[in-house]
Amino acid sequence: MRYFITGTAGFIGFHLARRLLQDGHEVTGFDGLTPYYNVKLKEMRHAALMQFPAFRPVVAMLEDRAALEAAVFSAKPDILIHLAAQAGVRYSIENPQAYLRSNIEGSWNILELASRIELRHLMLASTSSIYGSNPTVPFHERDRADEPLTFYAASKKSMELMAHSYSHLHKIPTTAFRFFTVYGPWGRPDMALFKFVKNMMEDKPIEIYGQGNMSRDFTYIDDLVESVVRLSDVVPSELNRVTDGEIDTLSHQAPFRIVNIGGGQPTSLMDFVEKVEEAMGRRAERIMLPMQKGDVPRTFASPDLLLALTGYRPNTTLETGARAFVDWYLEARQELGSVDM
């Protein structure tokens, strides 16, 4: 199969592209190498993918319609997976414009292009942030999720809504997945695990928000990749509507479906810190801080729809996942030298 993936120099796109290349597929990877965090880490990810002859990198921005169009038309993909985005909850308070450009205008450019080619399946990355402070747990895809607490969440919700209309008008089979706090090797420097391990290595204290009372449904990267790979074969259609219960989000107006990707096993932030300490073999000095503006107290995925569609749910333990991250970090640190990741 020919895949066109946006965001391949990013954390999730890199892992997904590598898995698909290992499975023998062709991958065109489109990424603007934005400076939101260390570009060297992004270049290292692309360099690792370039060891596969079937990988073709394109470095350009989603907002550059001519470049995006040329890349998609020459790749002629069967499946387009759109992961490139301005990620991060807190940064969306500081710089909302980056989210408007990448996540709304950039995603609209993807939808426009998708309406002009024959795609087997369009897949889009959305987020658990969309649920905001959902009063009930676990979060089901059919819960009302229209009270976003940050512009990041609002931009991803906008993408989901725009995608539904394009899916209806142009009959584009579309799956939007809502990721729940993804972690693992090659992870993002702005996320808690990376910051904790980095500070502990440098004998600096770690900052714990929400006085440690928050909880997150952490998803190990390999579990996420397995879920996406399995879902790529489940092209939304009445033929695969889940009839058992009320869990399916398959639209009655369009070949469009939303699926949570999370294991449904939330962990409190303090338990998470302890797992990281175990993996590091040392204790961290902790600075307890209040909740940050825009943070949600908890995330908790219902994995029922994912399980019904694919027979799979994320299951890697935090012990295993945190250890894999620490092992990678120690190696990558040598390669990156003194560069601040």
Ligand X SMILES: NC(=O)c1ccc[n+]([C@@H]2O[C@H](COP(=O)([O-])OP(=O)(O)OC[C@H]3O[C@@H](n4cnc5c(N)ncnc54)[C@H](O)[C@@H]3O)[C@@H](O)[C@H]2O)c1
DSSP 238: G
CA gap 236, 214 in Å, rounded: 34
Binding region for ligand X (CB under 6 A) out of 29-37, 70-78, 231-239, 284-292: 29-37
Name the one range near ligand X by CB under 6 A: 8-16, 73-81, 281-289, 310-318: 8-16
Residues recognised as catalytic: 152
Closest residue to bound ligand X by CB: 10
Q: φ, ψ for residue 124 (rounded to 5)?
A: -130, 140
Q: Binding to ligand X by residue 174, rule CB under 6 A? A: no
Does 44 bind ligand X (CB under 6 A)? Our answer is no
Dihedral (C-alpha) 97, 101, 102, 104: value to the nearest 10 degrees? 110
Cβ atoms of 143 and 195 within 8 Å: the answer is no
CA-based radius of gyration for the chain: 19
- The three-class DSSP label of residue 145 is coil
User: Which of 61, 71, 259, 306 lies at the binding interface for ligand X (CB under 6 A)?
Assistant: 61
Nearer to ligand X, 44 or 247 (CB): 44
Q: How far is the CB of 252 from ligand X (least distance, A)?
A: 26
Q: How many residues bind ligand X (CB under 6 A)?
A: 27
Report, in Å, the least distance between residue 285 CB and ligand X. 26
Rank residues 65 and 168 by Cβ distance to ligand X and give the closer one. 65
CA dist list (Å): 298 to 74, 119, 133, 214: 43, 36, 8, 6
Q: Shortest Cβ distance from residue 53 to ligand X (Å)?
A: 22
C-beta closer to ligand X: residue 18 or 188: 188
Nearer to ligand X, 240 or 265 (CB): 265
Whichever of 49 and 85 has its CB closer to ligand X, that residue is: 85
Q: Which residue among 34, 107, 150, 175 contacts ligand X (CB under 6 A)?
A: 34
Site for ligand X in 129-148 (CB under 6 A): none
Tell me the two tokens of residue 145: 């999720």
Which has the closest alpha carbon to 180: 29, 293, 313? Answer: 313
3-state helix, strand, coil in the chain (%, to 5): 45, 15, 40
Taking contact as CB under 6 A, which single stretch among the options 26-34, 197-205, 265-273, 325-333 is the one that binds ligand X? 26-34
Contact 55, 202 (CB under 8 A): no
Q: Which of 3, 5, 7, 139 binds ligand X (CB under 6 A)?
A: 7
Torsion of CA 136, 138, 246, 79, to 10 degrees: 130
How far apart are the C-alpha atoms of 211 and 326, rounded to whole Å? 24
**CB 127 to ligand X: min, Å:** 4
Query: Residues 275, 265: contact at Cβ < 8 Å?
Result: no
SS3 321: helix
Q: How far is CA 46 from the centre of its chain?
A: 17
Looking at 157, 188, 216, 257, which residue binds ligand X (CB under 6 A)? 188
The smaller minimum CB distance to ligand X, of residues 52 and 240, is found at 52
Is residue 42 at the binding interface for ligand X, with CB under 6 A as the rule?
A: yes
Binding site for ligand X (CB under 6 A): 7, 9-13, 31-34, 42, 61-63, 83-87, 102, 106, 125, 127, 179, 181-182, 188
